[in-house]
Amino acid sequence: MKKLKTLPRFKSEAEESEFWSTHDSTEYIDYGAAKKIALPNLKPSLKTISLRLPESLIAHLKMLANKRDVPYQSLLKIYLAEKIDEELRAAV
């Protein structure tokens, strides 16, 4: 096992970012000793998009969402995720 370099103390996140952009982390961190952890409350990153839909489609979506007592945008995400999963399974 090679001897690891001492990790410097950083004054700011910007300074740390600059450091890691010019240094190899394997010289400072023993990844073989890393332990797996669970992050159950970690939320996925979201990206806002603009989507043009016919008003009638939105009205139907809102009606279905109201029946399930969920926001219509949440129901839309559920439908999209289900369809994408279905398509990906079919492609294999």
- What CATH number should be reported for the domain holding residue 83? 1.10.1220
* The pLDDT of residue 80: 97
> Alpha carbon 44 to chain centroid distance?
3
Tokens of 81: 């995720």
* The pLDDT of residue 1: 63
| 36/33 Cα distance (integer angstroms) | 10
Q: Please choose, from the candidates 34, 28, 31, 32, the residue with its C-alpha nearest in 3D space to the C-alpha of residue 4.
A: 28
Stretches where the chain sits below pLDDT 50 are none
Domain assignment present for residue 40? The answer is no
Residues 6+ apart with CB under 8 A from 74: 65
Helix (H) or strand (E) holding 10: none
Q: Which domain holds residue 70?
A: 45-92
* The pLDDT of residue 87: 95
* Tokens 């399974």 sit on residue: 89
In this structure, the answer to whether residues 49 and 11 fall within a common structural domain is no
